Amino acid sequence: REQAQLKASVVEEDTEEWQKDSSLRGLERVGGVDLSYVKGDDSSACASLVVLSYPALEVLYEDCRMVAVSAPYVAGFLAFREVPFLVEAVQRLQQEEPGFKPQVWPVSFNSLLAGFGVACHLGVLTDLPCIGVAKNLLHVDGLVRDELHREQIRSLQRAGDTFPLTGTSGRVLGMVSCGVYNNSSKPLYISVGHRVCLETAVRLVKSCCRYRIPEPIRQ
């Protein structure tokens, strides 16, 4: 019930002036958050947050803390297990260095592509623009990493080429982007989190890639 209420608050459109500019003029800071588990221990994790300048992508602020994860993992409800620690990191940033508050967060979790993933959950709770970026495809709404999907990936010719992920419902759930850096054949799955449209999300992720993974998430 709580997830349904939060999902109803997701905004899938651009809400900021910098998003409306094709060169993203006006964007000065991008943030990245992640939760990484200790190998072999699903109750100990490291919650990390970084803020980078844009477009230089230089680190301005970083916060890294070990946390004890107690909520169980339930498929489709990962955010209830992990987002509280990310929200705490965002709140520390706002208290300690409010001038470094990012204007957008690329998050290394699926968002609308997962129905209502971590990027959506974090975006709604913090009311900040968020983008979901993942290395693997979730099997939702009929999406599968079958031979047809692999053939679509192989068909991308130029660095940064994309194709839409359309579910059996007919809804476009995200975009697949390949070769953003160094003509990599490994895809990234980009989707809307909150207060950003899919086109802007793809444009921003591409502009933040020095390597395969967008720099805010890699850092």
Q: Under a CB-based contact definition with an 8 Å cutoff, are residues 45 and 117 in contact?
A: no
The answer to the question of residue 185 being in a domain is no
CB atoms within 10 A of CB 200: 23
pTM summary value:
0.89
**118-126 and 78-96 helices, crossing angle to 10°:** 40
The answer to the question of residue 45 being in a domain is yes
Structural domain span for residue 32: 1-135+190-217
pLDDT string in tens for the chain (219-residue length): 999 999 999 999 999 999 999 999 999 999 999 999 999 999 999 999 999 999 999 999 999 999 999 998 887 788 899 999 999 999 999 999 999 999 999 887 666 666 778 899 999 999 999 999 988 888 787 888 889 888 888 887 677 788 999 888 888 989 998 765 655 668 889 999 999 999 999 999 999 998 888 999 999
Give the pair of three-digit tokens for residue 211. Answer: 């390597």
The answer to the question of residue 91 being in a domain is yes
The domain that holds 121 is classified in CATH as: 3.30.2170.10
Spell out the residues 6+ positions from residue 117 whose beta carbon is closer than 8 angstroms to its own: 78, 79, 109, 110, 111, 132, 191, 193
The answer to the question of residue 26 being in a domain is yes
Number of domains in the chain: 1
The answer to the question of residue 143 being in a domain is no
The answer to the question of residue 27 being in a domain is yes
